[in-house]
Amino acid sequence: MKVAMVGCGALGSYYGARLCRDGQETHFLLRSDYEAVRRHGVRVRSPEGDFHVRPQCARRPEEIGFCDLVLIGLKTTANDQFARLLPPLIGRATLLLTLQNGLGNERQLAALFGGQNVLGGLCFVCLNRLEPGLIQHSAHGRVVIGEYQRRPQARTHDIALLMRHAGVPCEVTENLERAHWEKLVWNIPFNGLGVAGTAGYDAVTQGTRPPGSRLDPCLTTDRLLSDPRWESLVRELMAEVIAAANALGLKVRGDLAGQQIAKTLTMGAYKASTLVDFERGQALELESLFLEPLCQARQAGVATPRLAALCALLQQLNPAC
């Protein structure tokens, strides 16, 4: 297949490199990392084995042309670029598969290009970009994919097979929306508290940062689970997310929280993506990861006081504000 990778940070580079190593015609659409990747390729350090690939590199989507599959790994804060970046890549049968965080990304793609060829994916993986063209894969890597507002089709299973052949564990979900909420059960507490915790426990529970207060070190996953107070907040946020999902009719199992905490304990001192963005002074993915879930919970009539306080504090801490 001819595959374009749009958004080549840690996530996009890792999965794009997997496909490239497997022999797919893989094109990376790059900005600041263009020269480094063009000259040296992409190196992946992984407990599953290090590897190095040389994908085809482009600065402009017009240099790539129509593709069979476009994988989108952009930060959701860059979704306003869809209309500029994607049209040169899209032919009549091009599939758009967004691997982005949170809710609403497939809806935005469908509004621009129609929903018939839009799919969504969720990545359960620990990754960090150490420098241009150098990706650290620490653990996990499973991808779950599904169709936007449809049951999976034969093409969905074909893409899953493509990913598995490239060494990526990949499953197909019958209900993409439910899968998104299941991932939010992890993303909201660990991404959110990792950043909000810099303002202190009281600020997180009250939803506001005291004027002039000093920020503490960011909270990695191991610190959140080793302190009883933070672990309790993690569990309370998870419970709110599960309650909201179930009020929306998505039937998320209550024991999912315990399963995700058990998996997180194997990650060590992992920095979630929102925490990495915060440390770099970049805009946080607030809309898709936190504000849209809060809005949907309220529309479903579910009380989510912990999530509401978390959202309020993250908006105060967002470097983009």
Instruction: Give residue-wise pLDDT tens across range 35-89.
Output: 999 999 999 999 999 999 999 999 999 999 999 999 999 999 999 999 999 999 9
Active site residue 183: yes
Mean pLDDT, the chain, as a whole number? 96
Question: Measured between alpha carbons, how far is 102 from 121 in angstroms, rounded to an integer?
Answer: 10
Q: What pLDDT sits at residue 30?
A: 97
What is the distance of C-alpha 206 from the center of its chain? 27
SS3 category, 207: coil
Give bridge partners of residue 53 from the DSSP assignment.
42
First and final CA of the chain: distance in angstroms? 41
Backbone angles phi and psi of 285, in degrees to 5: -80, 65
User: Domains in the chain, please, with CATH?
Assistant: 2-174 (3.40.50.720), 179-317 (1.10.1040.10)
Q: What digits encode the pLDDT tens for the residues 140-188?
A: 999 999 999 999 999 999 999 999 999 999 999 999 999 999 999 999 9
| CA–CA gap between residue 152 and residue 168 (Å, rounded) | 19
pLDDT at 214: 81
Task: Return d(Cα 319, Cα 321) in angstroms, integer.
Answer: 5
* The model scores a pTM over 0.95: no
Dist. CA 197–CA 41, nearest whole Å? 37
Q: How far apart are CA 191 and CA 210, in angstroms?
A: 21
Query: In this predicted model, what pLDDT tens digit does every residue of 195-227 receive, in sequence order?
Result: 999 999 999 999 998 887 788 888 999 999 999
Quick check: 257 and 186 in contact, CB under 8 A? no
Catalytic residue from among 183, 251, 263, 271: 183
Q: Write out the two tokens for 114.
A: 């129609």
Give the dihedral of Cα atoms 73, 5, 112, 319; nearest 10 deg: 30
